[in-house]
Structure 1
Amino acid sequence: MDIVRRNSVTVTGDPHGPTVVLAHGFGCDQNMWRLTVPALAEDHRVVLFDYVGSGRSDVSAFSPERYSSLDGYARDVVEVCEALDLREAVFVGHSVSAMIGVLAADMAPDRIGALVMIAPSPRYIDDDGYRGGFSAEDIDELLGSLESNYLGWSAAMAPVIMGNAERPELGDELTNSFCATDPDMARVFARTTFLSDSRDDLKNVRVPTLVLDCTHDVIAPREVGAFVHEAIPGSTLVTLDATGHCPHLSAPEATNEALRTFLAGLR
């Protein structure tokens, strides 16, 4: 299969600059990076894509078996990198894509040379000595609601995830993005996301890593950002003065500044 078509790959920016790959989170697509791309495209080659089942991807390629684990999504990333013959790319992953990037970098270390994790969480469910932000009962209820009424769940949850209640247009945008996703495929991605536990994978990271968390994020509280930072030797943690789980939309200036500072340090 043509991977570029399968994942609706878009390449823009400076064709001779270092490559940055932007990877969206659950319920989103590459359009969510529209406020980030202009800040990078002047001196970077920027690669965007949609995971199979999201955005403008080829949904005929969707497999519940493949995408029932984060490894399946990581294989999407690796195959996109192989199709474009990327080397030492900087992978920028939002939310669950941060952990997908960890897996992809381990699968293909020659393809990914650095990681940026925006609002990452290696495990959403609380555990002994670990605060993920949700109890097991919370996640069961969340998944049950999503599976019984996906559109209703989207309308209720997207504004909570986005935060910034005084800017309802942001919550509306995320709601529309969720609702544009095929419900059956979204259910698979949601279960894979919210039941994942990638904590042990963090010790395998061997590339420069930037962790970006937010001052207020109901999905990935600051304790989670601190955990990820401490688990990855040599990583940098920057807390953005931002509310919600999507700072690249709600606080693009601060997010872009942190990104560009990190990228400049890699040169």
Structure 2
Amino acid sequence: MNVRAKNSVREVGRPDGRPVMLAHGFGCDQNLWRLVVPLLTDRFRVVLFDHVGSGSSDADAWDAERYADLQQYADDIVEELGLADVVFVGHSVAAMMGVLAAAAKPERFAGLVLLTPSPRYLDDDGYRGGFSRPDIDELLESIESNYLGWSRVMAPVIMGTPERPELETELGDAFCRTDPARALAFARTTFLSDNRADLARVGVPTVVVECARDTLAPRGVGAFCHEQIPGSTLVTLDASGHCPHLSAPQATAAAITDFASTL
């Protein structure tokens, strides 16, 4: 199978620039990076792609059992997209895909940008992920029973930008483009994962980028990731919501550029 067709890979920007790979989160696709991409292309070779089961990826590549674990997504990033010396930018759950990929093959990565990451969404003793188990069960039941309705209700909550309803609509539209059965499987993989122990395995330069006000990843989550990843830095954007690449693209692009320039 052609890898580029499998993941709908697209490259823009400077062919001789350092590769910056942008990886989208749950329910989204590469189009959600549209406001950040033009701010990076003057300096970098920007690589966009869709996870299997999302966006324009090859429908025949999807297998619910195979993609029931974040490790398979990480394996795709390392082995099948095949880049080297890459700055990997992972949004939300894709941040943990980057963590797993860099832990397994650190020689492939120049650095990681973890954008609004969460290594575990469920609360635990001494750890606040933001959700109780009943919260997650209710979320998954809502996705299973009425995914389109869930998408329209949750998009404004996730975006956190009531003053900009067009962004809420854009995120909701992205959710609605995803096949409901695959969205449910991806949601289970996302919201029931626990990658806290994997953070300490990261041995490449890393910046954790959080938002000052985030409904899905509370402030303490970013600090936890920073504390667990040796030598990492923490950047807090003065932004609301879980998707700063939409709500604060200039600040997001600046965080990526500033970090990549130090490598």
TM-score of Structure 1 vs Structure 2, range by shorter chain: over 0.9
Read off the aligned partner of 2:56 and give its amino acid letter.
R
Match of 1:204 in 2: 201
CA contact (8 A) 1:91 1:116 kept: yes
Tell me how far apart the structure 2 counterparts of residues 181 and 208 of structure 1 sit (CA, whole Å): 33
After TM superposition, give the deviation of residue 25 of structure 1 in Å: 0.3
CA contact (8 A) 2:142 2:150 kept: yes
Matched, 1:55 2:52: no
After TM superposition, give the deviation of residue 217 of structure 1 in Å: 0.4
After TM superposition, give the deviation of residue 119 of structure 1 in Å: 0.3
Encode CA deviations 1:106-131: one digit per residue, 9 max, x unaligned.
Answer: 23222222100000000000000000
* Bigger mean CA offset, 69-78 vs 210-219: 69-78
CA contact (8 A) 1:3 1:79 kept: no
Identical residues among aligned pairs (%): 64
CA contact (8 A) 2:3 2:81 kept: no
- 1:115 corresponds, among 97, 109, 112, to 112
- 1:93 corresponds, among 90, 95, 99, to 90
Tell me how far apart the structure 1 counterparts of residues 230 and 103 of structure 2 sit (CA, whole Å): 15
Tell me how far apart the structure 1 counterparts of residues 100 and 227 of structure 2 sit (CA, whole Å): 18
CA contact (8 A) 2:155 2:171 kept: yes
Encode CA deviations 1:200-252: one digit per residue, 9 max, x unaligned.
Answer: 00010000001000011010010000000000011010000000000010011
Query: How many matched pairs?
Result: 263
Please state whether the residue corresponding to 2:149 is helix, strand or coil: helix
CA contact (8 A) 1:24 1:94 kept: yes
Read off the aligned partner of 1:2 and give its amino acid letter.
N
Match of 2:174 in 1: 177
Match of 2:36 in 1: 36
Tell me how far apart the structure 2 counterparts of residues 55 and 191 of structure 1 sit (CA, whole Å): 18
Read off the aligned partner of 2:85 and give its amino acid letter.
E
Tell me how far apart the structure 1 counterparts of residues 140 and 259 of structure 2 sit (CA, whole Å): 36
After TM superposition, give the deviation of residue 257 of structure 1 in Å: 1.3
Matched, 1:263 2:260: yes
Q: CA RMSD in A?
A: 0.8
CA contact (8 A) 1:120 1:213 kept: yes
Matched, 1:68 2:68: yes
Gaps of 5+ in 1: none
TM superposition outliers: structure 1 runs of 4+ over 4 Å: none
Match of 1:13 in 2: 13
Matched, 1:137 2:134: yes
Gaps of 5+ in 2: none
CA contact (8 A) 2:122 2:131 kept: yes
Matched, 1:126 2:123: yes
